[in-house]
Structure 1
Amino acid sequence: MECSISMRITGIRLAKAGFAVYGIDYRGHGKSAGLQGYIPNFDELVNDCAKYYTSVCELPQNKNKMRFLLGESMGGAVVLLLHRKKPSFWHGAVLVAPMCKIAEEIKPHPVVIKTLTKLSSFIPKWKIVPGKDITECAFKSPEWREEIRQNPLCYKGKPRLQTAKELLMVSLDIEKNLNHVSLPFLVVHGGGDTVTDPSVSRALYETAMSEDKTFKLYPGMWHALTSAEPQQNLHLVFADILSWLDERSTTPSDNQSARPSRYVKNDAHYA
């Protein structure tokens, strides 16, 4: 994905609510340089984000403001790794269907994974990883699916070998280290998500050492919670996100640790 078009709904809603919003296209994504859809090293991608967002926070107009991260899907993994690099720097995070674990429904057979992992050393850029069409699996709205397919800034081919290997290794690493997460966070996930595993978002909530943590599961919603759901679903998700941010957008000196943890399963049925 990329941040200027496919993330516009999130950016506009947050900006209208009074937040300063900054986004970045990862290398190999959107308008950034690099072979499209190619991630040779995930840690370098995270370092790019760390440098950029730290520089944003150091701008004169932002120095005394609270700092929140928001990441969707792979961006959720990036957020958790940014927090790992600077555990006390960020005041909170919103994780939307985070890539803490790739859903079994879209992972190749273990034998295939083992074979492709070996091949990635020789043909890292090849697009031969089998799997379901992510666009078809992630976006409930047919109109949004078509917009993604028509957006030249979005990579829509099969995963490149090295990219797939990096995503798998990162998701395994994050899943093993969920208990090290300590910042305040809200994690939202669709119960019908077949791209990233909602059970691992629940595990993040249950095992993270954070004292201020909230998990919201939306039965029937898919992966793209903030863009490709019916309008009533989008309103609900953004209301929850903005309410969580508003409650914490006071001053860094406030006692954040006094907030309780919350697990909320919305019982309503969604289209």
Structure 2
Amino acid sequence: MEQENPVRHETEVHFWGNTPEDEYYKQQGIKASRSSYTSPRGLSLFTRSWLPVSTDPPLGVMCMVHGYGNDISWTFQSTAIFLAQMGFACFGLDIEGHASPKGFDGAVLVAPMCKISDNIKPRWPIPDILLFVAKFMPTLAIVPAASILHKSIKVESKVPIAEMNPVRYRGKPRLGTVVELLRVTDCLSQNLRSVTIPFIVLHGSMDVVTDPKVSESLYEEASSEDKTIKIYDGMLHSLLFGETDENIEIVRHDILSWLNGRCRHENVEN
């Protein structure tokens, strides 16, 4: 069930400045809307869409999933807006948990967390202690963890923009969240061979938040016949916002080339 134009935490400032959303989207040459979706568990999930203004069919449909430290209403929008300008229909939601690729024709994986980097993973015996305590107090926010914001963003002037996000979680990770991240990423890292869909995985070589070596393992072990990997020398975790504008354009170009090479082919066949 969807509800159009739901009430949400509104702020006068967006990551692009004070320009109202509708006016900014018009300036960017796209259409955008927001709504809410009630999940089977009864939770109201906030959703957004970013669409080309053209009445022609879109080149493809992009189902966009944000990461653990992000949401769909701040800097995440910059990539969705770019893809809508390029002819793709983009959709995203503030997720409750994590997504599954079942039923998708392909995937663009940007610095994916197939495994928690050893550089930020709690050392033994902390994981065992967390697992035990989480059984009784899963919402307790006491997990020791360094801030990943400065580790993710290379351009220092962009850090304050990311910090201004009004809905960004600033507390310590909750026990239940950390336990699930450890469990799921451990499962993912052991089942890379089961990946069969076409994909491109993009990672910065200097990423210390998610491990580029695991992306390399995904590329090597996945059963997909159509797979591509891009490792960007010297780049950090936030490839689509935190890098220099020149680097962001390189990553965007690689994503767009990969999408166009497949979506245009599919459209011709159909």
Fold conserved (TM > 0.5)? Answer: yes
> SS of the counterpart of 2:114?
coil
Equivalent pair of 1:178/1:208 in contact (CA under 8 Å)? yes
Q: Does 1:175 align with 2:189?
A: yes
Pairing of 1:248-263 with structure 2 (within 5 A)? 248-250=262-264, 252=266
Give distance in 2, aligned partners of 1:108 and 1:182. Answer: 31
Shift of 1:143: 2.7
Q: Which residue matches 1:143?
A: 157
Match of 2:234 among 220, 225, 247: 220
Which runs of 5 or more structure 1 residues have no equivalent in the other structure? 28-44, 47-77, 256-271
Give distance in 2, aligned partners of 1:117 and 1:230. Answer: 39
Give distance in 1, aligned partners of 2:155 and 2:227. Answer: 30
List per-residue Cα deviations over 1:158-177 (Å, max 9, x = no partner): 11100011111110011011
Pairing of 1:83-98 with structure 2 (within 5 A)? 83=101, 86=102, 89-98=103-112
List per-residue Cα deviations over 1:96-117 (Å, max 9, x = no partner): 0000011111111120111111
List per-residue Cα deviations over 1:224-251 (Å, max 9, x = no partner): 0011100110010000000000000035
Q: Does 1:7 align with 2:86?
A: no
Shift of 1:132: 1.6
Match of 2:137 among 123, 133, 144: 123
Q: Which residue matches 1:239?
A: 253
> SS of the counterpart of 1:21?
strand
Give the letter for the 2:239 counterpart. Answer: L
Q: Which residue matches 1:17?
A: 86
Give the letter for the 1:162 counterpart. Answer: G
TM-score normalized with structure 2 length: 0.71
Shift of 1:254: 7.8
Q: Choose between structure 1 and 2: higher helix proportion.
A: 1
Q: Which residue matches 1:59?
A: none
Give distance in 2, aligned partners of 1:229 and 1:157. Answer: 25
Shift of 1:144: 2.4
Q: Which residue matches 1:210?
A: 224
Give distance in 2, aligned partners of 1:240 and 1:95. Answer: 12
Stretch deviating more after TM superposition (140-149 or 99-108): 140-149
> SS of the counterpart of 2:201?
strand
Q: Which residue matches 1:112?
A: 126
Considering Cα pairs closer than 8 Å and 6+ residues apart, tell me whether 1 or 2 has the greater RCO. Answer: 1
Give the letter for the 2:264 counterpart. Answer: T
Give distance in 2, aligned partners of 1:149 and 1:232. Answer: 22
Give the letter for the 1:5 counterpart. Answer: W
Give distance in 1, aligned partners of 2:268 and 2:227. Answer: 16
Pairing of 1:147-162 with structure 2 (within 5 A)? 147-162=161-176
Which runs of 5 or more structure 2 residues have no equivalent in the other structure? 1-69
Q: Which residue matches 2:179?
A: 165
> SS of the counterpart of 2:169?
coil
Q: Which residue matches 1:262?
A: none
Shift of 1:216: 0.4
Q: Number of aligned residue pairs: give it.
A: 200
Give the letter for the 1:13 counterpart. Answer: F
Give the letter for the 1:153 counterpart. Answer: V
TM-score normalized with structure 1 length: 0.71
Give distance in 1, aligned partners of 2:76 and 2:92. Answer: 9
Task: Output the aligned Cα RMSD.
Answer: 1.5
Q: Choose between structure 1 and 2: higher strand proportion.
A: 2
